[in-house]
Amino acid sequence: MIVRKIALNGFRNYEWETAEFDPGTNVIYGQNAQGKTNLLESVYMLSTGRSFRTRFDKELVGFGYSSSEILAEVSSHEREQTIRLLLQPGQTKKIQVNGVRKTAGELAEVVNTVLFSPDDLNLIKEGAAQRRRLMDQAISQIRPRYAEILAEFNRLYEHKTRILKDWREKPSLLDTLDEFSDGMCRASAQLIRYRASFAARLDEAAAPIHREFSGEGEELSLRYTTVSTVTDPCASAKEIYYEICEHQEKHRQAELDSGQCLTGAHKDDLDISINGRAARSYASQGQTRTAALSVKLAEREIFLAETGEYPILLLDDVLSELDMRRQEFVLNRIGGGQTLITCCEDEGISRRTGGKVLFVENGRIRG
């Protein structure tokens, strides 16, 4: 998948600007606060209809504008296609592909992106929520059904948490507790199957990438962990469901006492290790950054296997965190597919790439 051209009208700090991209590597450079991440954000929106920085469309609309428009020409599934997004705060956003109205979920059938931002550098060391988000975002793009189950799971989780917090004041809430617990067990069973199979593929794809990227033959491995009673997370949803119910029964009282949901896919994680040791505890700064990027590049391989095309890789401001050799890998050796990389001007990075260079200054793009 390739974004050939994008036009932004009243989007963030872009009044009316267009950019053309190379099908390979594109380095977007400029000083701080000029619009580099905003440009990446607009490309990301082509794949999800949403920003990775805010849930509120009004923040995306340029100051002084009442609406914001993103128009793009993309090449996907061997076709040239056009995407139009119109954001009007207070109204549902309008999404069109080749002039036909689409939902945000349907955009994933046209464009996929893999984003790596400075926040993702914490993927290895931070809490499990980051790693679950990685799985959720990726699987949702590949399997729209997953996004539906996840939304249902989150709805049940919120309800159940409210019951567990408030039942002492309102004992009647307990009438529906078991129903919510059962719904969460069912939804968890399905999420777990998807996540386990995704994690296994990610592990397989990430290991060789990390070996090359680290240059030191480091062995990266990823292992999915879930509810302790689940013996095989790749078993049928029915089998997993029974095993989760077992956990639920054992923890019912503890949930009431603690006021927290203790059973379900909301506690899943990915155990990441380098050379057999837990990366979370032992990896150096550089190792954790490299491992995080390897995981993202592995995600790209899964998209390729699923859709027959590489997704667009968006790398926001990550180069400065890497040493020269690792920078060189990112700039020139990520094969296949299109990459958009943002960086700050003073690092000379734009001279070290064979790709296209775009210069961003105060909401204008040159290159």
For ligand ATP, the binding residues (CB under 6 A) are 12-13, 30, 32-38, 59, 61-63, 317, 344
Indicate the angle between helix axes 324-332 and 177-214, nearest 10 degrees: 100
Q: How far is the CB of 142 from Mg ion (least distance, A)?
A: 27
Q: Which stretch binds Mg ion (CB under 5 A): 35-43, 88-96, 117-125, 256-264?
A: 35-43
Using the minimum distance from each CB to ligand ATP, give the nearer residue, 58 or 223: 58
Backbone φ and ψ for 322, nearest 5 degrees, come out as -110, 155
Sign of CA dihedral 236, 242, 245, 250: negative
> Which residue stretches of 1-71 are H helix?
36-48
For position 42 contacting Mg ion by CB under 5 A, the verdict is no
CA–CA distances in Å: residue 43 to residues 36, 291, 319: 11, 25, 19
**Rounded Cα distance, 268 and 132, in Å:** 7
Q: Which two tokens stand for residue 227?
A: 């509810």
Q: Name the pairing type of β-strands 339-344 and 312-316.
A: parallel
Q: How far is the CB of 65 from ligand ATP (least distance, A)?
A: 8
**Rounded Cα distance, 364 and 355, in Å:** 20
Among Mg ion, ligand ATP, none, residue 210 binds (CB under 5-8 Å by kind): none
Tell me, what DSSP letter sits at residue 52? S
Q: How far is the CB of 92 from ligand ATP (least distance, A)?
A: 19
For position 117 contacting Mg ion by CB under 5 A, the verdict is no
Among Mg ion, ligand ATP, none, residue 32 binds (CB under 5-8 Å by kind): ligand ATP
Q: How far is the CB of 344 from ligand ATP (least distance, A)?
A: 6
Can you point out the beta strands (E) in the chain?
2-11, 14-20, 25-30, 68-76, 79-87, 94-97, 100-101, 113-116, 220-225, 269-274, 277-278, 312-316, 339-344, 356-361, 364-366
First to last CA, the chain: 21
Q: How far is the CB of 348 from ligand ATP (least distance, A)?
A: 16
Using the minimum distance from each CB to ligand ATP, give the nearer residue, 30 or 311: 30
Using the minimum distance from each CB to ligand ATP, give the nearer residue, 163 or 358: 358
For position 37 contacting Mg ion by CB under 5 A, the verdict is yes
Q: How far is the CB of 62 from ligand ATP (least distance, A)?
A: 4
Among ligand ATP, Mg ion, none, residue 38 binds (CB under 5-8 Å by kind): ligand ATP
Q: How far is the CB of 359 from ligand ATP (least distance, A)?
A: 11
Q: Which stretch binds Mg ion (CB under 5 A): 33-41, 106-114, 211-219, 237-245?
A: 33-41
Using the minimum distance from each CB to ligand ATP, give the nearer residue, 35 or 49: 35
CA–CA distances in Å: residue 316 to residues 2, 83, 115, 244: 18, 23, 8, 39
**Interface with Mg ion (CB under 5 A):** 36-37
